[in-house]
Amino acid sequence: MSHRISELINEVDRRQDELISLLKKLIEFKTPAPPARNTKDAQHFVASFLREKGFSIDMWDVYPNDPNVVGVLKGEHEKQYNSLIINGHIDVAEVGEDENWEKDPFQPYVKDGAVVGRGAADMKGGLAGAMFAIQLLHEAGVELPGSLIFQSVIGEEVGEAGTLQCCERGYKADFAIVVDTSDLHIQGQGGVITGWITVKSTETFHDATRRQMIHAGGKLKGASAIEKMTKIIAGLQELERHWAVMKSYPKMAPGSNTINPAVIEGGRHAAFIADECRLWITVHYYPDESHEQIIKEIEEHILHVAHADPWLRENPPQFEWGGKSMIVDRGEIFPSLQIDPNHPGVKQLEGAHQNITNKQAIVDVSPTVTDGGWLGEAGIPTVIYGPGDLQHAHAVNEQVSIEQLVAYTKVLLSFIYDWCHTKTNVITIN
């Protein structure tokens, strides 16, 4: 570690109060999703912050009042040195009216060595640490030879994938860090996709005809869509158990690949036989799988289940998968993310972590999902690495440890400097 960067790392300790103040400022912007459509002021603050540090700003509306911000600091020798994307979401989890917070969740405060407030762990702590690292580099007059791209995106909490739009807009780099909640672990992730399975009758029957459908000699070929959906649910349970036995992934708990029947909607009135039933499912899959593969497996299995039933054979279930927003179209996709532990970016990040914390970095798999999968799917080597414990994310009195936030800021400061000073295609292991 150079003397110059060592001095900047010491600055993080000396100016810890400024770092905390920056995090508090970010938390004070009320950006819960749902309801969403509330990030404009926060994103203008981020854009202004980056602009003052020499970044060019690209800002556009993903949804009304919910813009993405991408700041680009072009390197002096951008073609010869590594580029880096730092990515984080500005939206935070919703706050329920019945949640028993000690104080207003958007009036952050310090208690027992932690900053408390909605978004402290997920993930304004990560954003604040990255922004403060950038501030210190700027104030010291450090000119990076490689390019640095900062993405503050919207919609992660409700599957609106602001990060996907950044990828579609053409932003690329040699490496990316998603500064989401990871307890300072370097992580990949499994994927998530939601889907709707619909069972629908071509005919509608009065409730009084039920006897003719279910008793001997009735001779009316009809069925309740709700009752037939129970066969679909049983089929999903069978497939889930099969996956649990037949599939696994290193460093993930067995059976992490789940099929959750989350919401069921059906029937129109008590005087009718239910002619339609819709099931909303959430599917978690492993990092080495794709949502296209998972869709194929589920549809094939459920259609086999349907084929064994005389009514479902003629009224097969219909499938709708994914979506761009849990608010707008009630669907989402989070692609999986595998990381290469031997990638030079991973190795340099491990080295920076160990140098700062005096602990070996833990490389594993997140039990939840982030926008990292979109960056990985765009061909950008990506890891999740951020402060905060998942048990505090989305929780009442959400908080992040100040000690961990300070350590994280130091690691990012060191990594940004070293990575953007490393020539492309050159592996340097600290």
Pairing of strands 276-285, 259-266: antiparallel
Sign (positive/negative) of CA torsion 422, 418, 335, 94? Answer: negative
Length of the chain: 430
> Is 91 an active-site residue?
yes
The whole-angstrom separation of Cα 38 and Cα 33 is 8
- Kindly list the distances between the CA atom of residue 212 and the CA atoms of 7, 219, 268, 284, in Å, as whole numbers in the listed order: 84, 6, 20, 41
DSSP sequence for 75-121: -TTTTTB--EEEEEE--EE---TT---SS-TTS-EEETTEEESTTII
Quick one: DSSP state of residue 204? -
CA nearest to 322, candidates 359, 294, 342: 294
The whole-angstrom separation of Cα 53 and Cα 398 is 30
**Tokens 């099969």 belong to which residue?**
242
> Is 403 an active-site residue?
no
Contact 9, 413 (CB under 8 A): yes
The whole-angstrom separation of Cα 334 and Cα 160 is 10
CA nearest to 12, candidates 359, 403, 307, 424: 403
**What's the first-to-final CA gap in the chain, in angstroms?**
9
Quick one: DSSP state of residue 192? E
Selecting among 91, 122, 289, 371, the annotated active-site residue is 91
Q: Is 274 exposed, middle or buried (0-12, 13-18, 19+ CB in 10 A)?
A: buried
Selecting among 156, 240, 275, 398, the annotated active-site residue is 156
Please provide residue 150's backbone torsions phi and psi, each rounded to the nearest 5 degrees.
-110, 120
222's tokens: 């009809």
Q: Which residues are catalytic, by number? A: 91, 156
